[in-house]
Amino acid sequence: MNIVIIEDEELAAQRLEGMIRSFDPGINILAKHESIEEAVNWFRSHPEPDLIFLDIHLEDGLSFQIFEQVPVKSPIIFTTAFDEYAIKAFKLKSIDYLLKPITQEDLNTAILKYKDWNTTSKSFIDVGALFELISNRSKSYKSRFSITVGQKIKTIDIGDIAYFYSEEGITFMVCRDKSEYPVDYSLEKLMDELSPKDFFRINRQFIVGMKSIANVHVYPKSRLKVELNPMTRMEVFASIDKVVNFKEWLNS
């Protein structure tokens, strides 16, 4: 088996190589690369390896940029420090992932998984989808809002916001302490500014925060009524077309 390691930390690369050789001394480490540029140059002049160990963040950017510059179809085992929320997609779109710090047991399992994959389905690895995932995960979202109250400007941390709603063309922010303020954002614009991990647009009128959900009531025909804290003046139902994604968001 021929392997390429792409890792910008020299000690981490050496440790990974040692663990691979501990698993199987017969494995051939073709190359170790520290940067996007170095990896691209190598792939342009060498046959593709059987397997790639790929760190996400390299010294000159996200490693997915390698595949924008040179076609590589080799299966990938990702080495990453991303949290559990982000790496869920890695389970679906790659051979495997290794969450740093890597253990020998985890590495052994990943290579065995590759060997099983290599003799069965060989399903396509969607590197582009993973790149989009990580790019979105790396996006910076608002951590606070500035609200004009009379002659003063009040700053509200994102953690103090329960939900947003729109009424008669005006968007309102409702805080966990029951205070309420109009904001100069449409709900559409807010969805670009808020972390999708913490906020979900449940229907045309409401964006709800995860921590604001007190109860979810199941109604016939898969309808979901959402009880919020602070309480709302109107009943809040998840749009039918958002029910499945809303359930997935709750489980995330």
140 CB-near residues (< 8 Å, 6+ apart): none
Using alpha carbons, list the distances in angstroms from residue 160 to 11, 144, 170, 189, 190.
42, 9, 20, 19, 16
Per-residue pLDDT of the chain (252 residues; tens, 9 = 90+): 999 999 988 888 999 999 999 999 999 999 999 999 999 999 999 999 999 998 887 878 878 889 889 988 888 888 876 554 445 545 544 667 777 778 899 899 989 988 887 776 555 556 666 666 555 555 578 889 988 888 888 899 999 999 999 999 899 999 999 999 999 889 988 988 898 889 999 999 999 999 999 999 999 888 899 999 999 989 999 998 888 889 889 887
Provide the 3-class DSSP secondary structure of residue 30.
strand
Domains of the chain: 2-137 (3.40.50.2300), 144-251 (2.40.50.1020)
Which pLDDT score, from 0 to 100, does residue 32 have? 96
CA angle 65, 66, 67 (to 5 degrees): 90
Q: Alpha helices of the chain — where are they, by DSSP H?
A: 10-23, 36-45, 65-69, 84-93, 104-118, 127-137, 187-193, 243-251
The residue assigned the tokens 């969805």 is 191
Question: Cα 222 to chain center, whole Å?
Answer: 28
What pLDDT sits at residue 97?
72
Contact yes or no for 27/74 (Cβ under 8 A): no
Are 33 and 80 spatial neighbours (Cβ–Cβ below 8 Å)? no
